[in-house]
Amino acid sequence: MLMQLFRRREAMLPLIAASATCLGLLAVGASAHAADVSGNAALTTDYVFRGVSQTQGDPAAQFGVKIAAANGLYGNVWASTVEFPGDTGASTELDTIVGWSGKLADDWALDVNATHFGYPSARADLAYTELIGTLTWRDNYWLMVGYSPDVFATDATGVYTQLGARFPIGERFRIEAAIARYDLDDAYGRSYSHASLGAVWAFNAPGAQPGLELRVTAHDTDAGAKAIFPGLAGSRIEAALQAAF
């Protein structure tokens, strides 16, 4: 596993360079406002996206940087190694995100963004864009809805809905749970549901930089996901070590 993680880390180097270029452009747009820069890096035993493995169960290296202006506008670049079945040539995912987040009231917050999922190494065009809105209550409960008119580059619509919650236990431990439904009837003639339950341990005090967390998450999907993504869906455990800075 360590050698797999090392090879995936090496594959991340061109993505980090591309991320820096994109973020330079985002920084120009945010120059008129005070801006905060943050980032994260992770090593995970399996990159699971909406209940489905993006690495065929193999480890992945991930990296992201975010620029947020004082008025709530933000830009984010996030990258991960991937390993798709077949001869797609896709070994990397590079997502670019532009959005706004802020408080609606004391207990309510909203995040809306456009996320472009890109696969620069793929032999075919696998890229697509999704509009995502997340409504959060008291920082610990959320409803997320995503809509794409070209989900997975199929020229068909897809709608993703997730309901989630986190339960802090002390300052350094929390439980996170989510259930979701992915409407892919237009693209694949069927949809699927999935659920996740995870435990998160923080290694240092809240607010300390860099923040270091260990996440262990159990994923499960229904038969619909197994039919659409054979061999990539079902029950699986994912463990990730993530640093925020």
**Pairwise pLDDT comparison (175 vs 23), residue with the higher score:** 175
Neighbours of 55 (CB within 10 A): 22
Cβ within 8 Å of residue 134, ≥6 positions away: 110, 111, 112, 142, 143, 144, 145
pLDDT, position 58: 97
CATH of the domain at 209: 2.40.160.40
Q: For 177-207, write each residue's pLDDT tens digit.
A: 999 999 999 999 999 999 999 999 999 866 6
Q: Is the confidence at residue 241, as pLDDT, over 60?
A: yes
Position 209 scores a pLDDT of 72
Over residues 25-56, the pLDDT tens digits come to 455 444 545 789 999 999 999 999 999 999 99
pLDDT score recorded for residue 33: 54
Residue-range definition of the domain harbouring residue 174? 2-244
Question: Tokens 């003639």 identify what position?
Answer: 189
Q: How many domains are contained in the chain? A: 1
Q: Specify the pLDDT at position 92.
A: 97
pLDDT at 14 over 70: no
pTM of the predicted model as reported, rounded to 2 decimal places = 0.87
pLDDT tens column, 120-172: 999 999 999 999 999 999 999 999 999 999 999 999 999 999 999 999 999 89
**Residue 7: which residues within 8 A CB-CB, separation 6 or more?**
none
